[in-house]
Structure formats: structure tokens, C-alpha cells
Structure 1
């Protein structure tokens, strides 16, 4: 579980978690209103997120619900990206 005192920019976390391919795409997704943080719509890519919070992200063909469980200083491979969140999307 992530240290609750640890924080990161929303667009950066989305990019590190490999939800989208680029950080600018992550920022655009947030600005377009396609991201909710603990149920509330967020439109600022600089919004700080912390461990335990839940993101709802509306993508082209699906909606993903992710609980933040970790942070990374750099964007890693897909395996390390999966360690940053718990997928709680209902199927």
C-alpha cells in the first residue's frame, strides 16, 4: 500500500500507470472531464492524488476504476505499472 503522505500529480500518475501512452494524453483526458477522483469530476491535471484514492477513468471503449496503491518516479514497463493500482472495474 502506498504511503498516505505520498502524493503525485494526477496526469503523471495516469501516465506512469500506463492508462494512456503519453503524459499529454493523460492531461487531455483530465481536462476533458473524463476522470473522477473519489466520485468527483476533476479537470485539473495538476490535482494531487494519494494512496487509497479511487479513480474512475472513461476511455474510448471502457470505463476503468482503479484504486491507487503506489507511486513511481519513472514510467516503467507494464509489470511495474500494474503495481501502482488495484483494478476494481466491475465486469
Structure 2
């Protein structure tokens, strides 16, 4: 098989939970094939770069093998190369902590905690 629809391929390699989700992502402009917006019927071939945003995460994958039927996760992993960049490291956010077993905070301690939370978002 030389090519297949992008919505079918996304579903087959388990990047989308259902084929309808993959088609909706295409219609919503969340899928790009070789840096071009993709409709559900856009063809993908081996070597194409597919950029898809599903569930607020963006994945960048390269098509290694074209499949049309959904297969097991181990086989699906061999059909693509994940080129998603690593997420940036999270900045250390200070966390307000109290000693375990210290009981309820006093009114003054609550005011200090509220001020701390408001300052640090």
C-alpha cells in the first residue's frame, strides 16, 4: 500500500482514539501534513511529516509505514517515528506547606497563606 487518508492513518497508529476524532481534528485545522493544513482525505505516504494536536498536546511524527487498519500498540509504534520536541522544564513553583499534625491554621496563618497564594498565582 502506497498511501492512505490522514484521518485513517492517525486512527490506525493510535494517535487518535477514534477515526471520527481524527477527522474532527483535521476539519478543525489541528492536523498538518508537511506543513500544509490537512483535510481528512489528504493522502499520506512514507516519509511525510504529520503534526497533530489532540487533547491539547501537539505531536510531530514521521510516517514510516502506511497502514489502514487499526493494529496492536506494539505494531503501531513501528509505523511512525516520534519527532515531538521535549517539553520545556517546569519552573520550580514554591508551594505553601505546613507541618503535618499542626492542626488548623490560625487566622493569621490563613492570611499569610492567602497572601502567598495570591502573589504566586
TM-score (norm 2): 0.67
Question: Larger % of strand: which?
Answer: 1
Contact preservation (8 Å) 2:25, 2:31 = yes
CA distance in 1, matches of 2:9, 2:68: 9
Distance 1:19 1:35 in 2: 11
Structure 1 segments, 4+ long, off by >4 Å, are none
Alpha-carbon offset, residue 58 of structure 1: 1.2
Uncovered stretches (5+) of structure 1, i.e. residues with no partner? none
Q: Which has the larger radius of gyration?
A: 2
Query: Structure 1 or 2: larger helix share?
Result: 2
Gaps of 5+ in 2: 87-121
Q: Aligned pair 1:12/2:8, yes or no?
A: yes
* Greater mean alpha carbon deviation, residues 55-64 or residues 14-23: 55-64
User: Is the counterpart of residue 84 in structure 1 residue 82 in structure 2?
Assistant: no
Displacement of 1:13 in angstroms is: 0.4
| Structure showing greater relative contact order (alpha-carbon pairs closer than 8 Å, 6 or more residues apart) | 1
Shift of 1:60: 2.1
Which string of whole-angstrom CA distances, capped at 9 and with x for unpartnered residues, describes residues 18-50 of structure 1? 0011111111110110001111112x2011111
Aligned equivalent of 2:62:
67
